[in-house]
A and B are shown apart, each in its own frame.
Chain A
Amino acid sequence: MRWFYYVITFLLFFVFSLLQSSFFPYFAIWGAVPNLVFCLFFTLIFFEPQQHYTDGFFAAIMAGLFADMFLPSYFGVSTGAFLVAYITYKIFGHFLRENQQKHLVFYFMGMFSLLFLVHQATLFLFSLALDFPFSFGITFLVSLVYGVAFAMVGFYIGKKIFARHFDNQLKLF
């Protein structure tokens, strides 16, 4: 049944990338659109057990692949940015294991913001190196707030779906 999870993940990334590029531009706030692909990616890796890597890598590659489709640059740029974000998450998650169990929602929001910053900063660096247009200004903050709002929805849905992995944390809420 594991293959089913990957098919669903693939389809979700496909639909979310299309929603992000077709539907949500009509709801842009100061030019910022919620990064749904990143929200889905973060929700998936957040509920992945700390000692597991396969699903997280798969999510990063899928997220990167679909994000790359709309990026005016080489394939692999977004994939690289998502992998950097994923590795950062695993490193921070290793050291903040204690805190995440105490304040799960705030940990989720804080980690989302940090990884979003890392992801955007990596893309910005890639844009300088590979010379493709990428804005990293005030829109970043708006996009972050916008993204957090959507990620919170993902958080509560994820909590329901992946509850068994988070038994310890759920007991605290």
Chain B
Amino acid sequence: MNFYVKKQNFLWQKMLMWGGAVVASLIFLNVFQVQARDSFFFVSRPISKVFIEGGKNTTDFFSSFFAFNVLKKENTHLKTENQSLLASLSQLQERISSWQDLQTALQNTQQDNFTLLQSSVLGLDIENDTMLIEGGQDNGVLENMPVISKEKVLFGRITKVYANFSQVVLISSARSALAVKIQNTDTTQTSIYGIVKGSGALSVYMDLITTDSQISEGNVLITSSQEGIFPKDLLVGKIETLNSNDARAFKSAKVQPFFDPKHTSSVFVITNHLKK
């Protein structure tokens, strides 16, 4: 019996001791609660950071997973918007390019007093050496108006005019022939004339060169305006190879044309030079 009482007393003692320790700890923590919390947060900060990052990443992942339908719609919307913006950008770039082309063309034809109508190339028919361009009757385009590039390179002439479009027959067409001369910087020398004819498939050759003419490969050909359709001094091409045939009265030469319809998107119609 005595032993039981002693054990009971010992248990109470133990409980009081632990209870006192807990209360004392709580009092201590409350007295220094700012420092206690500060120390705790200082120690736990690195782990908290990891958990916060983990929480963010996980919730982002699950959010995107659950919001799949919304994302899908948003994606479709963004794609459409992106395409629309790309189209606008393309239009703007086209306008800028078009404006730059016009500036170059105006600069190159400054001394010629040409009235130029800028036009976009809509189609190219290599088999027939024709080109479809924007601008027609409504824009004042008429048949036989010359078509050039911004670099003042001759492309051809208008053969058919629609309300808003026009067909251009290129100088490489078998139906085309124009008077040219060798560009000569030395004014004391006599000019060499000839005819540039189309041989199809965007190629041309020079014919009717007098046998005594001093021409050589690399000579630049420009329009001479003798046929009356094209204005003078438009760039045509350069002599690539000479064909001499003693049996013929005239020489001919293969010409590398300057025009490049495959890589041209903008041309100019000279509207104030028309064969009457």
> Does residue A21 face the partner (Cβ distance < 8 Å to B)?
yes
Interface pair A75/B54, CB less than 8 Å apart: no
Interface pair A22/B30, CB less than 8 Å apart: no
> Does residue A117 face the partner (Cβ distance < 8 Å to B)?
no
- Which A residues are CB-close (under 8 A) to B51? 18-19, 22-23
> DSSP class of B's interface residues: helix, strand, loop or mixed?
helix
Indicate the member of A26, A57, A79 with the most B CB atoms within 10 Å. Answer: A26
- Which A residues are CB-close (under 8 A) to B47? 15, 18, 22
Interface pair A22/B33, CB less than 8 Å apart: no
> Does residue B274 face the partner (Cβ distance < 8 Å to A)?
no
> Does residue B44 face the partner (Cβ distance < 8 Å to A)?
yes
Interface pair B55/A74, CB less than 8 Å apart: no
- Please pick, from B33, B52, B55, B58, the residue contacting A75 in the complex, using a CB distance under 8 A: B33
Interface residue total, chain B, C-beta cutoff 8 A: 21
Task: State in angstroms the CA–CA spacing of A75 and B36 once bound together.
Answer: 10
Expressed in whole angstroms, the minimum distance between the Cβ of B270 and any Cβ of chain A is 70
Interface residue total, chain A, C-beta cutoff 8 A: 19
Interface pair A23/B26, CB less than 8 Å apart: no
Chain B 33-74 interface 0/1 with A at a Cβ cutoff of 8 Å (1 = within): 100110011001001110110111011000000000000000
Interface pair B44/A14, CB less than 8 Å apart: yes
- Which B residues are CB-close (under 8 A) to A79? 22, 26
Decide yes or no: A26 and B26 within 8 Å by CB, A14-B44, A21-B48, A69-B37 being known contacts. Answer: no
Interface pair A69/B40, CB less than 8 Å apart: yes
- Which B residues are CB-close (under 8 A) to A15? 47
Contact surface of B with A, Cβ cutoff 8 Å:
18, 22, 26, 29-30, 33, 36-37, 40-41, 44, 47-49, 51-52, 54-56, 58-59
